[in-house]
Amino acid sequence: MRFSLHHHFGMNALATCLALATPLVPGMALAEESSDSIKEWRLFVADHSQPVVRAIDFETGKELGRYDLKGYAALTASASGKTVFATQSDADMVHVIKTGIVFSDHGEHRDLDVEDTALLPVTFEGKRPFHVVPHDDHAILFYDRGGKADIIDEAALLDGKAKVRTVDTTAPHHGVAVTLGRFVLVSVPNTEIETKPDTLPPRIGLRVLDREGKQVGEQAACTDLHGEATSARLVAFGCKEGILVARPGGADGPKLEMLTYPEDFPKAYTGTLLGGKSMQFFLGNYGEDKVVLTDPDSKDAFRLVELPTRRVDFILDPANPRNAYILTEDGDLHVLDVLEGAITRKAKVTEPYSKDGHWRDPRPRLAVADGQVAISDPRHSLIRVVDGESLKETRTVTVEGQPYSIVAVGGSGASH
């Protein structure tokens, strides 16, 4: 059965999306460049075992800045690409880095201003910060052991200030919070079971809060909720039962709908989700050796894609919405055509990196910049740059230590 991402999307519509693609989300470029345009891409790379983040010029490989932190960090770029959050879960700390990439919208075009990178003076402290969800002009920081989530205004950060709205999360748990309009979607822990002193309770559902923190409507069941993504106006969450989708619902709050996995699917579930930007769809893992494409508005919402070995990392190409890149533990990089729901090509890009061992062992991570895939290779202290079409390695960037978490920010725009 042919997979349709949305009943509005055919090949002509896809071409239109490609032509209209404009920056900035992290990793997106202008579809067309004029004679007075400039282009700038930057990588932000966290070391696996040392508390340091490096800013790197993607074109030259030159280090633009080195930022010492309190602990080793996971990196998340904001929706605008103006900031990168460095979350140090084991150190109970989050730093924020200014990327120096600033786009301004002028209707028919966008301007690009390039500034220095910098470690911002505002930090966030709390018990085990973990998931950071970027959304529009803010980010939501969830504290697993703090019983709260902070909604952080990005503009204030860039002014050196902290403007935060705190949301109660019922009890400490490994959860997530996401904004949808003026409402907040928050994971729900199971507080009725006993847990060991160092163990957090499991997630059992999702609830909707208004701006005053009051629950709106009924709690939705979502066993072991993990993984979230936004695509178009929808937010999706991974559950053992299926994918829980939140849709805008006006004054009555978002509408929650469970898309149950098909009965003929093998037993597994989704714990990581990515959301399409130019098209409405979600890509998630399904266990360790499969991925699943989800279109909530299609009669056949799911399309399962088998992988030859276990997945190490995967990412969408924001500038080419048809492509997703999947790295498997044998060192192969696969290109998934999200319209066809099939792997179209692959190439060896790293040595094998086994998924056995601790979940946080040093393994490659992916970022997309200017039509190329940047792959951290911690074993060899390298960033490998692979052409997104040919999958051939074009160059490497040497990075001291063990480069691990990586994000790309940039694009092109008019220069005046």
Distance of CA 106 to the CA centre of its chain: 27
Lowest mean pLDDT among 55-69, 102-116, 128-142, 229-243: 102-116
Helix (H) / strand (E) element for 328: namely strand 323-328
Whether the per-residue pLDDT at 37 is higher than 60: the answer is yes
The DSSP annotation for 13-40 comes to: HHHHHHHH--S-STT---S---TTEEEE
Copy the structure tokens of residue 156. Answer: 């204030």
Whether the per-residue pLDDT at 35 is higher than 70: the answer is no
d(CA 70, CA 243): 36
Q: Cα(first)–Cα(last) distance of the chain, in Å?
A: 50
Residue 281 φ then ψ, to 5°: -165, 165
In the structure, what pLDDT confidence band is assigned to residue 197 with cuts at 50, 70 and 90? confident
Which tens digit of pLDDT belongs to each residue from 257-269? 999 999 999 999 9
Copy the structure tokens of residue 213. Answer: 């923190």
Residue 109 pLDDT: 75
Mean pLDDT of the 87-114 span: 91
DSSP letter (8 states) at residue 186: E
Whether the per-residue pLDDT at 5 is higher than 60: the answer is no
Residue 416 pLDDT: 65
Residues 331, 353 contacting (CB under 8 angstroms): yes
Cβ atoms < 10 Å from Cβ of 216: 15
Residue 9 pLDDT: 38
Whether the per-residue pLDDT at 34 is higher than 90: the answer is no
Mean pLDDT of the 291-306 span: 98
Of 118, 44, 135, 124, nearest to 91 by C-alpha is 124
Write down the pTM of the prediction: 0.91
Residue 414 pLDDT: 83
Residue 15 φ then ψ, to 5°: -60, -40
- Name residues whose C-beta falls within 8 Å of residue 244's C-beta, 6 or more positions apart in sequence: 206, 220, 222, 225, 236, 237, 256, 257, 258, 259
Mean pLDDT of the 91-116 span: 90
Copy the structure tokens of residue 272. Answer: 């990581």
Mean pLDDT of the 189-212 span: 95
- Name residues whose C-beta falls within 8 Å of residue 416's C-beta, 6 or more positions apart in sequence: 36, 111
b (16+ CB within 10 A) / e for 286-323? bbebbbbbbbbbbeebbbbbebeebbbbbbbbbbbbbb
Mean per-residue pLDDT of the chain: 92
Residue 3 pLDDT: 39
Long-range contact set of residues 19-22: C-beta below 8 Å, sequence gap at least 24:
20/278, 21/278, 21/318, 21/319, 21/321, 22/110
Mean pLDDT of the 322-339 span: 98
Of 108, 89, 7, 107, nearest to 51 by C-alpha is 89
Lowest mean pLDDT among 13-27, 262-276, 321-335, 338-352: 13-27
As a whole number of Å, the CA-based R_g of the chain is: 20
Mean pLDDT of the 386-412 span: 97
In the structure, what pLDDT confidence band is assigned to residue 41 with cuts at 50, 70 and 90? very high
Residue 250 pLDDT: 87
Whether the per-residue pLDDT at 12 is higher than 60: the answer is no
Whole-angstrom CA distances from 121 to 140, 269, 412 are 19, 40, 28
Q: What percent of the chain has pLDDT over 90?
A: 84
Q: What percent of the chain has pLDDT over 70?
A: 91
Please give the domain boundaries of the chain with CATH numbers for all domains: 11-414 (2.130.10.10)
d(CA 136, CA 364): 28
Q: Is the dihedral of CA 345, 348, 350, 354 positive or negative?
A: positive
- What residue type is 253 in one-letter code? G
d(CA 20, CA 15): 9
Residue 26 pLDDT: 66
Mean pLDDT of the 315-338 span: 97
